[in-house]
Structure 1
Amino acid sequence: TLIELLVVIAIIGILVALLLPAVQQAREAARRTQCKNNLKQYGLALHNYHDTYGKFPGAGGWAVGTRGWDWELETSPHVSWHVRILPFMDQLPLYAQMKMNEMYQDRAILSDGSRTWSKSVPYGRCPSDNSNEREWNECVQTSYSGSLGSQSTPSAGGAGCEPYEQYAEKYKLAGHGNFWTKEQISGMFSRMVGADISTADVTDGTSNTIMVGEILAKCHDHKAGWTHYNGMGSAHASTVTPINDLTTCENAPVAKITYTACTNQNNWNFSWGFKSNHTGGAHFLFCDGTVRFLSENINHPNFQALGGRRDSKVVGEY
């Protein structure tokens, strides 16, 4: 009868409504597992690099020459740390094709004339990241960034971007990672070359220090791809901004901060924050090779302490 048919349809609708969230949760759980595995692969590659060279790779390509800040010094490979660890991620053929010491405009050209920034690399993308894979000039984006630690970065203009800068360490005098000695760098990476940070410099303990974390490329002001030494998000990010603070994302609603003038285009502190599309937090690779999911509600000073490698602030429960 019609009534029986309607009852059956209603029951089916209820079952679908009950099962659909479970299916979505299962899919997201699988994506989170893959994302975690990606970071583990980065951890293995970074430690193999360290075992080979006695230090972790530099994140930047800036150098200081006779003209002051100089990004054209041929003594400095103009590539990100993602590029430097390619041989340790079974990508030696791609690495061997790169022209490392050419000027800014040409540094990402392969020996066959194609662009490295248009190449995808294994483990470079979190399945939950809904950023466009290719942004400016077809540059392939990554979902993972090295940590500058609690390193303050300047504003490029605008107002209302100050709430979290108070948490930056005294090393903020180094600017947005612009220093070539490890003494002035809070975290594991620098925007400059030559920081030469090793496990011996992680005096807070490798299990207490963030090395790499998740980012959303769409929320960054720089989208020049995973090869770019100054790719902001791809090369380095800061713990000054809370996890998953989306106020800086294009068209994102004002979330934790009510300052509408603060965007990813006018303040690098907020542009360079760690973010993910996972509910409740983001994955982070620590210096001991472990991967942990940190809550977006983590006590903010504790988050800063985890970002610093030698601030003598060892965090217990977080």
Structure 2
Amino acid sequence: MPDPHSLPPGARSSRAGFTLIELLVVIAIIAILIGLLLPAVQKVREAAARMSCQNNLKQIALACANYEVRVGKYPPSNTLAAPFHGWPALVLPDIEQENVRNIYVMTANWYDPANEVARNSRVKTFLCPSANGQRIGQAAVPGTPGSPFSGAAWDYTNVAVVAQTLLTYLNYPDPASYSTVWRGVMSSQGSTVSQITDGLSNTILIAEDANRPEYWVKGKRVTGREPPFGGDGTGTGSVTGGVWADHQKGFGVEGTSADGNTLVGECAINCNNSFEVYAFHTGGANVAMADGSVRFLRDSMSIRTLAALSTRAGGEVIAND
């Protein structure tokens, strides 16, 4: 048998393989493809989270509509007499949360020991997938020992009123009518359908106010100072009202300054999550209307338009967009 090392070069067996340069080129191509793919994957995830959030709002809005059919009016924003509990407890059966409703004691306050397990029960429908779902909410009950109380968080709330400070800022012509005209659907003891003269499809019922008790301003978390409204008094950047069982529901639309730091102002959407419309979706926030439909409000919306959409009987003319 001839020695293979003695054969001419062309007759030797060849070995397949990559050179170092070829490997580096392949790695570079893969890195470029991944770089191109990641933004697309992130967009798909955000689109899925936004759709899931919209579905949550639709379920909550339809639950409130079912409550209106049973009781004759939408749930009240706040409980004015003991026992205190939030309106979400009233609609738990309508969002298929009988397991939580069965352990919730309606004859006790939401913050009483009897409701500790119930109020700490995480309800998926109350959480937007784009927000931090593992956080613990807190809600202040003035004058009550143990306040603020902790509980399972939620990312939505009803729009109770258009704040009189905003009406003054916008030079509305008839501030004397504030107590009746500028209320939201669930303000005070709740509205009947006949009281929503602006139309169910033109009136916001529920809006996003995400990630409480974390304090967020213009896409950044703030930890070193107190929110302009709804702080816990510690100055550490915590917003109260983020417990789904809390009986003090709703917020007054006011808007903020352009930087999102102070009330009242032109910035309407995604400026400040201290009891204003705020979401973690690119370009805007989801809201549910009184007819059960869900809309996406762009963060370029004017505060005047948001105010008009928030009243149940303001008589405003709102553009189709």
Fold similarity call, TM over 0.5 = yes
Measure the CA separation in 1 of the matches of 2:208 and 2:242: 17
Deviation at 1:210, TM superposition (A): 0.4
User: Taking structure 1 as reference, are residues 105 and 24 closer, same or farther at Cα in structure 2, changes over 3 Å only?
Assistant: closer
Counterpart residue number, 1:55? 73
Give the secondary structure class of the aligned counterpart of 1:115.
helix
Q: State percent identity of aligned pairs.
A: 32
Residue identity opposite 2:125 in structure 1: Y
Give the secondary structure class of the aligned counterpart of 2:251.
strand
Question: Is the 2:100–2:121 contact (alpha carbons within 8 Å) kept by the matching residues of 1?
Answer: no
Residue identity opposite 2:295 in structure 1: R
Counterpart residue number, 1:140? 152
Show structure 1 runs of 5+ residues with no match: 63-72, 154-161, 249-255, 258-262, 265-269
1:237 aligns with 2:255: no
Question: Is the 1:80–1:229 contact (alpha carbons within 8 Å) kept by the matching residues of 2?
Answer: yes
Residue identity opposite 1:142 in structure 2: W
Question: Is the 1:130–1:277 contact (alpha carbons within 8 Å) kept by the matching residues of 2?
Answer: no
Measure the CA separation in 1 of the matches of 2:177 and 2:133: 30
Measure the CA separation in 2 of the matches of 1:243 and 1:126: 26
Deviation at 1:237, TM superposition (A): 2.4
Show structure 2 runs of 5+ residues with no match: 1-18, 139-148, 216-229, 232-239
Counterpart residue number, 1:282? 285
Measure the CA separation in 2 of the matches of 1:13 and 1:308: 52
Question: Is the 1:147–1:187 contact (alpha carbons within 8 Å) kept by the matching residues of 2?
Answer: yes
User: Taking structure 1 as reference, are residues 196 and 7 closer, same or farther at Cα in structure 2, changes over 3 Å only?
Assistant: closer
Measure the CA separation in 1 of the matches of 2:198 and 2:183: 11
Regions of 4+ moved over 4 Å:
168-175, 242-246
Residue identity opposite 2:78 in structure 1: G
Counterpart residue number, 1:17? 35
Measure the CA separation in 2 of the matches of 1:43 and 1:244: 31
Deviation at 1:244, TM superposition (A): 11
Deviation at 1:92, TM superposition (A): 3.3
Q: From the CA coordinates, give the structure whose radius of gyration is larger.
A: 2
Give the secondary structure class of the aligned counterpart of 2:125.
coil
Measure the CA separation in 2 of the matches of 1:32 and 1:244: 25
Residue 89 of structure 2, aligned match among 83, 99, 102: 83
Measure the CA separation in 1 of the matches of 2:36 and 2:129: 24
Question: Is the 2:181–2:312 contact (alpha carbons within 8 Å) kept by the matching residues of 1?
Answer: no
Give the secondary structure class of the aligned counterpart of 2:124.
coil
- Out of 286-295 and 137-146, give the one that drifted further: 137-146
Measure the CA separation in 1 of the matches of 2:279 and 2:98: 29
1:2 aligns with 2:20: yes
Question: Is the 2:108–2:114 contact (alpha carbons within 8 Å) kept by the matching residues of 1?
Answer: no
Measure the CA separation in 1 of the matches of 2:96 and 2:130: 24
Give the secondary structure class of the aligned counterpart of 1:11.
helix
Residue 261 of structure 2, aligned match among 220, 242, 247: 247
- Out of 12-21 and 123-132, give the one that drifted further: 123-132
Residue 227 of structure 1, aligned match among 245, 248, 253: 245
Measure the CA separation in 1 of the matches of 2:44 and 2:76: 37
Quote the RMSD (CA, aligned, Å): 3.2
Counterpart residue number, 1:70? none
1:205 aligns with 2:199: yes
Residue 109 of structure 1, aligned match among 96, 114, 118: 114
Question: Is the 1:129–1:277 contact (alpha carbons within 8 Å) kept by the matching residues of 2?
Answer: yes
Question: Is the 2:278–2:285 contact (alpha carbons within 8 Å) kept by the matching residues of 1?
Answer: yes
Q: How does 1:181-196 map to 2 (within 5 A)?
A: 183=180, 186-190=183-187, 192=188, 195-196=189-190
Provide, for residues 253-309 of structure 1, a one-character-per-residue CA deviation record: whole Å limited to 9, x for no partner: xxx88xxxxx98xxxxx7210100101100000011100000010122111100111
Provide, for residues 211-261 of structure 1, a one-character-per-residue CA deviation record: whole Å limited to 9, x for no partner: 00111212353145110112xxxx21233226997537xxxxxxx88xxxx
Counterpart residue number, 1:293? 296
Measure the CA separation in 1 of the matches of 2:151 and 2:307: 31
User: Taking structure 1 as reference, are residues 118 and 307 closer, same or farther at Cα in structure 2, changes over 3 Å only?
Assistant: same
Measure the CA separation in 1 of the matches of 2:258 and 2:159: 15
Give the secondary structure class of the aligned counterpart of 1:271.
coil
Q: Give the alignment's TM-score, normalised by structure 1.
A: 0.73
Residue identity opposite 2:124 in structure 1: P
Measure the CA separation in 2 of the matches of 1:138 and 1:314: 41
Question: Is the 2:181–2:314 contact (alpha carbons within 8 Å) kept by the matching residues of 1?
Answer: no
Question: Is the 1:146–1:189 contact (alpha carbons within 8 Å) kept by the matching residues of 2?
Answer: yes
User: Taking structure 1 as reference, are residues 149 and 100 closer, same or farther at Cα in structure 2, changes over 3 Å only?
Assistant: same
1:122 aligns with 2:124: yes
- Out of 32-41 and 130-139, give the one that drifted further: 130-139
